[in-house]
Structure 1
Amino acid sequence: MSYKMENITPEIAIIMSVYKNDKLLYIQQAVESILNQKNVNYLFFMHLDGKVNSVVMDYLNKLQHSNKIILSQSILNNGLSNSLNYLIDKVLIIPNIKYIARMDSDDISLPERLSKQVRFLENHPNIDVLGTACKEFGSSFSLEKKFLPSHHDDLVKYSICRCPFIHPTVMFRRKVFDDGNRYPTHTTFTEDMAFWLELIYKGYKLHNLPDVLLQYRLEDNTMHRRKGLSKAKSEFSLRMGYMFLLNQVSLKNILLISSRYIFHLLPPSIMSKAYKYLR
């Protein structure tokens, strides 16, 4: 399989999953934000995870006229992890792809996002996974700017109790997936968190840029999706296990992990207020 754009071989693959509950306007904004990226050569892989409505399907079909977009679809909804793993396998067929970037179907990448990430990775060959800061929007509890720790050692400590990346900002070095790593499909609700902790455990190096390179959409009903006993148990078990594996055992971490367990059991109205302090 060979892809070229204007006689230039792409070095970046962007992977994005779309499913039936995604809104057309949000998808359009996400797609346009990738098509408007500056100074990079890329292929944009989108996977439809099961059936989508006809309006979304019509829009996505029209996109296939672009030589930058590769569209695929599964008959059934298999979940985000399976969709991303499917796309990763497709990307790895192309030998010239050096970097694989995530995108979500309801967020907006700023025009210089990919070029800044590639430039950093080119200049820092020791870094395997690179995220960025973001601007949240769309809800009453959105942050104007959200920053995470930058350096690997700080991210290791941070990850025991909180997520080290804003997932749709992440760019991977290809070797992460050439080594056989994939998003876990055996966890409940915490696939991305489980993936970051597994990569840390295996010795991959993480970093976050302080630049705001993505607009991250939140909605006032976001808290409804993040509450519940099953999610609380899943996250608690995952974090406690990796706290021991990564030699980060402390009373502080145990208390912080426990506080997140309680957080997922709170009423959504209280979760929204607590969210700013637990992320």
Structure 2
Amino acid sequence: MKAFTVFMPVHNTDAYLNEAIESVLKQDYEDFDFLIIDDGSTDKSKEIIMSYSDPRIKFISAPHDYIATLNMGLEVASGEYIAHFDSDDIMPSNRLSIQLDFIRSHPDIDVCGGYIEMFGNINEIITWYPLTHREITNFFLWGSPVVHGTSCIKKEFIVRNNLQYSDDYIYCEDYKLWVDIAKAGGKFANIPETLLQYRCHRAQVSTQHHSEQKNGSLIVRQEAIEWFVSNIEKNTSLGMEVVEKFLPSWNFLNMHNMLTPETYVRTIYEIVDKLRDRKIINV
């Protein structure tokens, strides 16, 4: 079994596709499978993919259904880890070797990601992502803490827990999957290295569907809050006070628009962090 299957879904990215594919094939760690699934492209993407003869490439053509394509990737990937990558980005040549070194020295980690370098409409290296499991799961209360295109997921964990991407969260499907993995007991880490050159352009999904992505993310955030609450130790006086008194009052104020969204989330975040300090939340 290969250590990695690099999984790249493709939908109408012919302008960037050669550069994306070449960046994967030029990894300094070469022993991996490269699964490319075309998600119903109507441009020249399929022709570009089929022009490559590298034996590491496995190509599948599928009808356009992005979530179904992502789940097909989870199912078909044969590597020990699934390394996600988007077809309009560039993979630094040392990404796989960096992640391999990390996962071999941290076998308890089920999902690991890293930093990104943005280019195109925005040029910036993003290094503020949380690093440890606790920091990452706390960050669920703000948003997605692992960049999907840097993520490396343990395939065995996905299979054992019967996890997949959800059709109900099409524009924040990665954020939802991270929360589901945490609920199943998965462990997270981000590596403080740049693992992706992230192309910013007007045609990308996060730009075209920003409103839908934001609304879906609010639902996932609420699921994360409920997950933390469900893991509060109820046999402690502080835990009971938070569950029975504070949270109902705080939710009432939030429901009636008496709190700013930032105040609501920041306070929940601080409570969760303090309860984890006192071992009253153990996740």
TM-score by length of 2: 0.77
| Percent of aligned pairs sharing the same letter | 23
1:227 corresponds to: 210
2: CA distance, partners of 1:78 / 1:28: 23
Between the aligned partners of 1:70 and 1:178, the Cα distance in structure 2 is: 21
Alpha-carbon distance, 1:134 to partner: 1.0
CA distance in 1, matches of 2:130, 2:201: 25
Q: Distance in 1 between matches of 2:260 and 2:216?
A: 15
Q: Distance in 1 between matches of 2:213 and 2:99?
A: 32
Count of matched residue pairs = 239
Q: In structure 2, how many angstroms separate the alpha carbons of the residues matched to 1:202 and 1:178?
A: 12
- 8 A contact 2:114–2:150 mirrored in 1: yes
Distance 1:144 1:234, change over 3 A: closer
CA distance 1:166–1:254, shift in 2 (3 Å): farther
Computed over aligned residues only, the root mean square deviation of the Cα atoms, in angstroms, reads: 2.5
Name which one, 1 or 2, has greater alpha-carbon Rg.
2
| Residue 64 of structure 2, aligned match among 64, 77, 93 | 77
Task: Give yes or no for the alignment of 1:137 onto 2:119.
Answer: yes
| Structure 2 equivalent of residue 195 of structure 1 | 177
Of 94, 100, 105, the residue aligned with 1:123 is 105
Within 1, Cα distance between the matches of 2:59 and 2:131? 34
CA distance in 1 between counterparts of 2:260 and 2:134 reads 19
Residues 1:227 and 1:257: Cα distance change in structure 2 (over 3 Å): farther
Extract unaligned runs of 5+ from structure 1.
Answer: 1-8, 260-279
**Which segments of structure 1 move beyond 4 Å, counting only runs of 4 or more?**
220-224, 248-254
Q: Is the 8 A contact 2:11 2:45 kept in 1?
A: no
2:34 maps to: 44
**Paired letter, 1:185:** D
1:214 Cα deviation after fit: 1.2
Please list every run of 5 or more consecutive structure 2 residues that lacks an aligned counterpart in the other structure. Answer: 233-241, 266-283
Letter in 1 for 2:27: Q
Aligned equivalent of 1:163: 144
CA distance in 2, matches of 1:256, 1:72: 43
- 1:10 matched to 2:15? The reply is no
Q: For 1:233 and 1:58, locate their aligned partners in 2 and report how far apart those are by CA, in whole Å.
A: 36
Q: Hey, what does 2:239 align to over in structure 1?
A: none
Instruction: Please report how far the alpha carbon of residue 221 of structure 1 lies from its aligned counterpart in structure 2 after TM superposition.
Output: 6.4
